[in-house]
Amino acid sequence: MRIVELTDESKNNILENLLKRSPNSYGKFESAVAEILLNIKTRGDEALFEYTKNFDKADINADNIVVTEAEIEEAYSLVDPELIDVIRKAIVNIRSFHEKQKQYSWFDSKPDGTILGQKVTALARVGVYVPGGKAAYPSSVLMNVLPAKVAGVDQIIMCTPPDKEGKVYPTTLVAAKEAGVDVIYKAGGAQAVAAMAYGTKSIPKVDKICGPGNIYVALAKKAVFGYVSIDSVAGPSEILVIADETANPRYVAADLLSQAEHDEMASAILVTTSEDLAHKVSAEVDKFVAELSRKEIIQKSLDNYGYILVAKDIDEAVDVANEIASEHMEIVTKNPFDVMTKVKNAGAIFLGEYSSEPLGDYFAGPNHVLPTNGTAKFFSPLSVDDFIKKSSIISYSRNALEAIHTDIEKFATAEHLTAHANSIKVRFEN
Ligand code: NAD
């Protein structure tokens, strides 16, 4: 793995290179996605079934698009019972973490009869996209569905592409059933996103679409934003490890590779204050890569976006980490909590050598849907907040309004909105 001395120039080159991974740089797919969206909007199910035939090679129609109870039962018979137990344990942790995020309505009253407040309402219907092209992602099902459940969403539907026999990954179905999905549709790609955004005869329109997917899914979500809400436009996975001379190089190398294996666009970066650690981690990475099953993907991802940066001190290491604003950050230093207090931008922060990133992917409880591509500067992890909305509550008594009615009339008149002023004035005509 390449080792680079941290300077202004190397930092700027790396930041520029990392930005190439943004889904916003994939304009060439946009016209294909726009055509799919338009077709679904105008021709509904007919176009949906055609795309499923073209892209997934499956014969799906109005009679078999919904996954049946029998198919879910079959899925349970195909999944390792020990994995089902693990899924159930993960659900307990994810639920209890998200329960703490719940927000409640509140009302404040004053002696003059004024009541102000905020009413919290869960979204009515949410659509979760679960990728199905190249691999199964039961953990994505849990991380997207459970916060919506905790928020109190009335109906949660799920879309996932079928294989050419019209089947869905059994682990995806088991995770969906365990998490409490209401209806599962066999539909994938941009066409599934469009169906959930606009509604077709088979798939109902939702209020919000969440969940990861390939570039077609990501660009489709971006394009339907406004018709519906979306979680985010997810880019490729990222890890940034801040480590000093006390870190175990083998652990650090293993953790970097855990993200590099996602895909060739994933990024794995170590920022260390120790040149000795830099060389040791690089050597450990080489040893691991030779043994791991996804070695080709890992090697490409490291060649494209893997770096070991040597910083002069921990403050410089934290500064560059804040600029990169990584999806996942690990801090493996003498005093990780002290370093954490200086971190401003990161999706999830893992502290100490026993908090390796995959713990957060599957099990600890916090959500694994995190801001990527530097968006941790302004976005947060997926949470219960994503599945609620707030309405402001305003109730004045006659006395309370009388005390300030001329103030409002003055403001409205200054904006030349005489009807506004009048709607207050009529109440005090006599
Ligand atoms: P997918 O379900 O996202 O995509 C499959 C669909 O893509 C197909 O159903 C088809 O409709 C569509 N498609 C394929 N080729 C097309 C073409 N030429 N034109 C138009 N549409 C086409 O599954 P995938 O492809 O395996 O991708 C999953 C992605 O999700 C991966 O990039 C993976 O890394 C990512 N992922 C991210 C997270 C996360 O948390 N960030 C989690 C899981 C998966």
- Whether residues 114 and 223 share a domain: the answer is yes
CA of 130 to the centre of ligand 1 (A): 9
User: Could you say which of 171, 199, 230 is where a domain stops?
Assistant: 230
Residue 391 lies in a domain: no
Q: What is the pTM of this model?
A: 0.94
Q: Which has the closest alpha carbon to 165: 64, 46, 51, 45?
A: 64
What does the pLDDT profile of the chain (430 residues) look like in tens digits?
999 999 999 999 998 898 888 776 677 889 999 999 999 999 999 999 999 999 999 999 999 999 999 999 999 999 999 999 999 999 999 999 999 999 999 999 999 999 999 999 999 999 999 998 778 899 999 999 999 999 999 999 999 999 999 999 999 999 999 999 999 999 999 999 999 999 999 999 999 999 999 889 999 999 999 999 999 988 889 999 999 999 999 999 999 999 888 888 899 999 999 999 999 999 999 999 988 888 888 899 999 999 999 999 999 999 999 999 999 999 999 999 999 999 999 999 999 999 999 999 999 999 999 999 999 999 999 999 999 999 999 999 999 999 999 999 999 999 999 999 999 999 999 7
- Whether residues 208 and 293 share a domain: the answer is no
Residue nearest to atom 23 of ligand 1 (CA): 133
Residue 308 lies in a domain: yes
Q: Which has the closest alpha carbon to 235: 260, 257, 215?
A: 215
Number of domains in the chain: 3
Is 118 annotated to bind a ligand? Reply is: no
CATH of the domain at 193: 3.40.50.1980
CA of 161 to the centre of ligand 1 (A): 9
- Whether residues 87 and 135 share a domain: the answer is yes
Is 368 annotated to bind a ligand? Reply is: no
CA of 237 to the centre of ligand 1 (A): 14
Residue 240 structural domain = 3-22+236-364
Residue nearest to atom 14 of ligand 1 (CA): 55
Give me the helix-helix angle, 295-305 and 275-291, nearest 10°: 150
- CA 86 and chain centroid, separation: 22
Tokens standing for 189? 């790609």
Q: What is the CA radius of gyration of the chain?
A: 25
Residue 389 lies in a domain: no
> ipTM score of the complex?
0.96
- Whether residues 37 and 169 share a domain: the answer is yes
Is 98 annotated to bind a ligand? Reply is: no
- Whether residues 207 and 354 share a domain: the answer is no
Q: Is 164 helix (H, G, I), strand (E, B) or coil?
A: coil
Q: Is 263 helix (H, G, I), strand (E, B) or coil?
A: coil
Which residue ranges have their beta carbon within 6 Å of ligand 1? 32, 55-56, 131-135, 137, 140, 161, 188-190, 212-214, 216-217, 234, 237, 262-263, 368-369
Q: What is the pLDDT of residue 119?
A: 98
- Whether residues 412 and 320 share a domain: the answer is no
- Whether residues 36 and 146 share a domain: the answer is yes
Q: Is 173 helix (H, G, I), strand (E, B) or coil?
A: helix
Residue 286 lies in a domain: yes
- Whether residues 248 and 109 share a domain: the answer is no
- Whether residues 40 and 8 share a domain: the answer is no
User: Could you say which of 213, 230, 247 is where a domain stops?
Assistant: 230
- Whether residues 225 and 94 share a domain: the answer is yes
Q: What is the pLDDT of residue 294?
A: 86
Which residues are designated catalytic? 327-328
Q: Which helix (H) or strand (E) holds 389?
A: strand 388-395
Q: What is the pLDDT of residue 340?
A: 98
CA of 129 to the centre of ligand 1 (A): 10
Q: What is the pLDDT of residue 391?
A: 98
- Whether residues 167 and 42 share a domain: the answer is yes
Is 367 annotated to bind a ligand? Reply is: no
Q: Which has the closest alpha carbon to 271: 304, 315, 327, 335?
A: 315
